[in-house]
Structure 1
Amino acid sequence: MEVPVADTAKLLAESHSIIYNEPEENITLNSIHYLLTQMNTKLTNIEHKNDSLEARLTAIECKMTSIHEMQSSLNTVKSQVEQLDEDVKCVKKDVQSLETNMNSLGNVFDSVKETVDSNKRNITDCQKITQQCTQAQRTAEDKMTAELRTVREESERLQSSVTDLKARSMRENLVFAGIPEDNREDTEAVLQEFLQRKYKLDYEIPFERVHRMGKWNEFNEHPRKIIAKFTYFKDREFIRTRAAQKLRGSRVWVNEQFPPEIEEKRKKLYPIMRQAKKDNKRTKLVRDTLYIDGEEYIPTSESANGRDPPARSKPSTASSNRSNPQTKRDRQPQKRQRQQSTPDREF
């Protein structure tokens, strides 16, 4: 509790008057005791007030300490705020830079979009051009295919014509295999002597040409074949048709001559013809066409691979002519193009 300043001054004035103003006879022990008591009371009150002041000062010091701490915290906060302010300024700068960059990126995106749109248009144009080129290419390919087909057909036709011409040029030829030879021989004289001896001829058959195939080699195991071109087809057929009878046991073979294209086809037909003969069927090989019992044999893919499939055939011209009465000229079968030889036979 606070002591009023007026009471303290009053006490001091009374003590002063007692000590200095009163006469000595009036100064008693009671007054002094009273004065001391009053002073003690005042001092006690002052002590209590001092204690209260000290407590208050202590509280004030605590509060001041808190205030200092708060001030320190405020300083820290201020520093942080200043740092935040700097950071915010930096962020603002970064945001501005980012906005600038975004604007630049926007421009880039716009440019890229324009480029993409342009590329899309170019791609669309290219696709159209590609489709046109593809269509043109297909048209050209179809045209080329048709032309190649035509050329191939023409080539096959020409090849067939050439083969036919070769076969016709060999129509009067026969091939004699197995006649002994000598390096200094006259081949035509050797053939004339052989035919007169085997066929019992009393005249010489006229030939266009007679020669052996290939070059002479003294180490050949077998004599070279003789190719003879007859002047007359009748003489050629006379020799060919009687060869089986006249040359039996002589190890000499007589065959027709055909171009290699026809010979290759005939070689594939020989096994079929032999098998048909074993089955007691009538066979006839004309150039590269085999007739079995009057029907044309048509090779299949299996026969090309070396197997003997069932023969597919079609009626011959002669049999069909018998079933359809026509004029004499129409009933005559058309002559087939002459082609190559008969199979080798040993008579």
Structure 2
Amino acid sequence: MAQRGSSRRDSVVCSLEEKNKQKERAESDRSKQKSEKGKEKTSDQYHYETDFDQFITEIKQLFHQFDEKIDKRFDRLDSKFTKVFEDLKKEMNQIKVEVSDTKNEMKDIKHKVTELEQSVGFQAGKYEELEDKQDDKIRKLHEHLDEMKRKLLLLEKHDRKNNLLFYGFPEEQNEDLKATLKTFFKDKLEINDEKVQKIDFTNCHRLPYDGAGPKPIIARFVYFEDRELIYSKALMPIFKNERKRVLTDLPTELKKTRAKLAKEAYTIRRSERLKTRILEKGLSVYLEVRRTKEDSWERRELYD
């Protein structure tokens, strides 16, 4: 920067010196002309040349002072810019260090996250495997419980196979239910007296009942053959118009199903004019319908 100021100063000075030389040559020419004419340089011309030299000297001093000021200002600016640049350089280096540290931390975090994901995935896989095993155990347990329930129902049904339920028999004080049933066998089911007298019961009593009419009678026959004889006679046409009913004794769950089917059968007989019957097979209770005796029985499925 000092060199740039010095160059400008030298250029101005050279220009002024050149002009001065031109003026001197012109004055010299004029002096020569005057000398030729016999005239000499006057005192005023001398003073003019002396003042001009002094003016040039002052101009040079002013330019020199101006150059010094410019150089000082450029030096101060250069110092400031140098300091700012150094500060920026330090800050950039610090930022680079921080960025590098951040990258390392991010790599470490990413590595930990990957390990965590792998661990979670492994644990999730183990959990799903255990859950599948648990679900399989629960399913098998439900199947086992269902099988146990089915077997218990079969046992209960088997235990009740010698029982019959009699509905519609009026209640009397000090009644003899065994005698009442035998009279019914003889008079309504048309079984001969000799056979009726051979029929024997293990137990015979009335059951609690929430419906309308007298409480039903449950009778347990000593022999299954006697029970089958009575039930088959009760299904014959000669007994259809009686208000009394004879039903098999079933476990509670199957009784509810039969009661529901009985209501549906009543609706079908009235609305569709079809004949109905309710059958039992194993643990199944189902409804069949037909229109005439010549038609085959068809199973009627019920939907809730």
Aligned residue among 75, 80, 89 for 1:81:
75
Higher relative contact order (CA 8 A, sep 6+): 1
1:229 is aligned to: 220
CA deviation profile, 1:275-301 (whole Å, cap 9, x unmatched): 8x9678x978233266789999777xx
Distance 1:253 1:121 in 2: 77
Measured at CA, do residues 227 and 120 of structure 1 come closer, stay the same or move farther in structure 2, by a change above 3 Å? Answer: same
Measured at CA, do residues 252 and 298 of structure 1 come closer, stay the same or move farther in structure 2, by a change above 3 Å? Answer: closer
Distance 1:139 1:98 in 2: 54
1:254 is aligned to: 246
Consecutive unaligned residues in structure 2, runs of 5 or more: 1-23, 29-37
1:126 is aligned to: 119
1:208 is aligned to: 202
Question: Does 2:141 correspond to 1:151?
Answer: yes
Distance 1:226 1:283 in 2: 22
Aligned residue among 29, 43, 46 for 1:46:
43
Mapping of residues 334-345 of structure 1, within 5 Å: none
Measured at CA, do residues 298 and 263 of structure 1 come closer, stay the same or move farther in structure 2, by a change above 3 Å? Answer: same
1:167 is aligned to: 157
Once the two structures are TM-superposed, the CA of residue 228 in structure 1 deviates from its matched residue by 1.7
3-state SS of 1:242 partner: helix
State the structure with more CA Rg.
Answer: 1
Mapping of residues 283-322 of structure 1, within 5 Å: 285-287=279-281, 288=284, 303-305=301-303
8 Å contact from structure 2 (residues 166, 245) kept in 1: yes
8 Å contact from structure 2 (residues 261, 278) kept in 1: no
Distance 1:239 1:269 in 2: 23
Q: TM-score, normalised by structure 1?
A: 0.54
Once the two structures are TM-superposed, the CA of residue 226 in structure 1 deviates from its matched residue by 1.9
Distance 1:170 1:272 in 2: 25
User: What's the C-alpha RMSD, in Å, of the aligned pairs?
Assistant: 4.7
Once the two structures are TM-superposed, the CA of residue 100 in structure 1 deviates from its matched residue by 5.5
Identity %: 18
Distance 2:82 2:51 in 1: 48
Once the two structures are TM-superposed, the CA of residue 151 in structure 1 deviates from its matched residue by 3.4
CA deviation profile, 1:68-127 (whole Å, cap 9, x unmatched): 4x24xx425413422431442354255346535644654x35752673475267347626
8 Å contact from structure 2 (residues 258, 278) kept in 1: no
8 Å contact from structure 1 (residues 289, 296) kept in 2: no
Distance 2:77 2:136 in 1: 88
3-state SS of 1:95 partner: helix
Distance 1:294 1:164 in 2: 32
Count matched residues: 256
CA deviation profile, 1:122-155 (whole Å, cap 9, x unmatched): 347626744xx62x55554554455444434433
2:33 is aligned to: none
